[in-house]
Chains A and B, each alone.
Chain A
Amino acid sequence: MQDPTEPVVVFRNVSKRFGSTAAVDAMSFTVAAGETLSLLGPSGCGKTTTLRLVAGFEQPDAGSIEIAGQAMVGKRPYERNVGLLFQHYALFPHMTVAENIGYGLKHRRWPKAEFGDRIAEMLRLVRLEGFDARRPGQLSGGQQQRVALARVLATKPKLVLLDEPLSALDAKLREELGLELKQILSTVGSTTIVVTHDQDEAMSLADRIIVMNRGKIEQLGTPGEIYAQPRTAFVASFIGRTNWFSGSGGTLAVNGVCRLTTNNGTALNVRTVDMPPAGSWRVCVRPERIVIMPAHTAAAGSDANSLEGEVVSVVNMGAQLHFVGQTAEGRITVVQPNRQGSRFQTGEAISLHFGADDCVLLAPDA
């Protein structure tokens, strides 16, 4: 029996090159037992290659991969107890639902007598009782994905890999199945890696997220950390919407608040634990952190920030209002909860307020 405190997956300095490009560049990370980790990044960032390295469809050029305490380099996919859920389900079209779910049981040498019970148990888990004899072609996309999940989980793999599990489904179904997927994964207590380019998918499924770019880890953290404290400009712009301010140099004020001046001459108070930046910088402010006030309202507090401007557009999204304001810093996006419609109309002069704590100071991307 494996020590439950040991990580299930250990990646040490793993690299993989295709020709002259490094798809995965000296990646190191671990996945704890029962944890769901997401690899998030734009297409071509190396997340799919990372997944294929874990599954055994690719072999690393350098570094080591351990799963459940065993070295994996050189092992074939079928010599690892790793389940893989494919983006387009990859159900065997010539087999019934029950045969699909039983396929892994057969090849992982489960006792034949247990097949029936295990298949029934899996169908119950994904709420598809009575679908045994159907063929994949007779099922909807969501049902096919649930069968695929049942097929993966049937053999109790040490690790489950999900490759863009929801992206082939339409928006509403995606949300429903996402919740169900998370619930099922926690019911069976599986250790999971989710690969996705969709931040909602990553945020909703994962305990921790690795944001990847050009084969490297940009940031590793909880969904909350990744969103609120992005460590690089890439992470800040890849996750969610962002308003950017840029400039260079600054002075240290009191209590860890720096006083910076943007390239457009606006003064910004930004909380930072570090010294004020010596070179150029970028400041990220999330749209929901900004409050809209009538024009020329004074900002509350000594380290608050205030920008004067004019409403360019108001979009009512139902649950939220999306404002765009034109200011000396260009267009600023503001998102507010929609309570009683907008108090501000297009063309109206406004004042935009946000605190020093709402600003994240970052170095510009190299």
Chain B
Amino acid sequence: MSGRLFDDAMWLAGLVLIGTILCFLLTPIAVTVIMAFDSRAYLGPLPPPSLSLRWFEQFFSDDYFLRGLSTSVKLATLAVAISTAVGLATAFVVERTEFAGKQLLISLFLSPLLVPPVVTGFALLLFLSHLGLINGFARLLCGHIIITVPYTIRATLTGLGGIDRSLTEAALSLGANERAAFWDVTFPLARTSIVSGAIFAFAVSMDDVAVSIMLTDATTYTLPVALISSMRANFDLSIAAASVMLMLVTLGLIVALEKSVGLNRAIGQGVFRS
């Protein structure tokens, strides 16, 4: 009997713990969301007496933020396009060939995940100044490719690894050359993995602060960097509004990711494993 009671107590304790962690994670976000809709012009105690969209209006009328947003979107789009292509090419070659040190090479490709982003940013800043590359956008692009490429390689490798080699061989034996076999068979089957890698990479690029802050210049800066600088200068709630929008973008990406993987399960038989 006592064993059972103890088990039940452990379950209860576990539930309480999970609840606590959830509160801890979600409360700051909830506070931010509420504050973003605060109608007061100053920072007052919660809850706000009434709600409005004034901070969103302010955000969209501030050139400083808009410029950051536009840079962030352009940068993320371009960086993800490049790192998806690079990731696909790299993963394809690594997957299809056997050589000594293959695992080591894969680890090297994924190493930007392990190196602290501040270090990556600082190292890149030094390196690029030595090269004479001082254009802000080009520098940011280099940095963002480095931090996103591990995600695209990883996801594409997983996708390619799940495709039975005999499918490619079947295509070849039916008269397709290697290029045709890739576009007809390998690519469609790996597509969901490639897309999920790209979505993840986009989110990483949009959210990055540590690398970007090292590589920005006076006129080219990303939205997260703009938020941090403006917070230092004058704290107002348009930052909360911007945070809410960033959260919405991320949420949208997660939904898209879930959809692409969910689609994967719907058609998936065997080789569609993600």
Interface residues of A (CB under 8 A from B): 55-57, 76-78, 82-84, 86, 88, 90-94, 103-104, 107-109, 135-137, 151, 155
Contacts and interface: CB of A to CB of B under 8 A. Distances in A.
A103 B185 CA distance: 11
B173 interface: yes
Contact of B169 (A77, A109, A137): A77
Nearest to B175: A107
Contact of A77 (B173, B267, B272): B173
Contact of A136 (B174, B176, B189, B269): B269
Most buried by A among B164, B166, B189: B166
Given A92-B185, A94-B189, A136-B269, A84 B170 contact: yes
B172 A78 contact: yes
Interface of B: 164, 166-167, 169-177, 180, 184-185, 188-189, 267-272
A103 B184 contact: yes
A90 B176 contact: no
A93 B266 CA distance: 12
A55 B173 contact: yes
Nearest to B269: A137
Contacts of B188: 94
A108 B174 contact: yes
A78 B177 contact: yes
A88 B166 CA distance: 9
A136 B167 CA distance: 13
A57 B171 CA distance: 12
Contacts of A88: 164, 166
Nearest to A87: B166
Given A93-B269, A94-B267, A136-B269, A104 B174 contact: yes
Given A57-B169, A84-B169, A93 B175 contact: no
A92 B184 CA distance: 9
A77 B177 CA distance: 8
20 contacts: A55-B173, A56-B172, A57-B169, A77-B169, A77-B173, A88-B166, A91-B170, A93-B189, A93-B267, A94-B188, A94-B267, A94-B272, A103-B176, A104-B175, A108-B174, A108-B175, A135-B267, A137-B267, A137-B269, A155-B174
Contacts of A77: 169, 172-173
B266 to A, nearest CB: 10
Contacts of A76: 172, 177
Contacts of B167: 90, 92
Contacts of A137: 267-270
A135 B177 CA distance: 24
A91 B167 CA distance: 7
Nearest to B163: A93
B271 A93 contact: yes
A167 to B, nearest CB: 14
Top 4 nearest A-B pairs (CB, nearest first) are A137-B269, A107-B175, A104-B174, A90-B170
Contact of A78 (B176, B185, B272): B176
Contact of A103 (B174, B267, B272): B174
Contacts of A135: 267, 269
A107 B269 contact: no
Given A78-B176, A88-B164, A92-B185, A103 B171 contact: yes
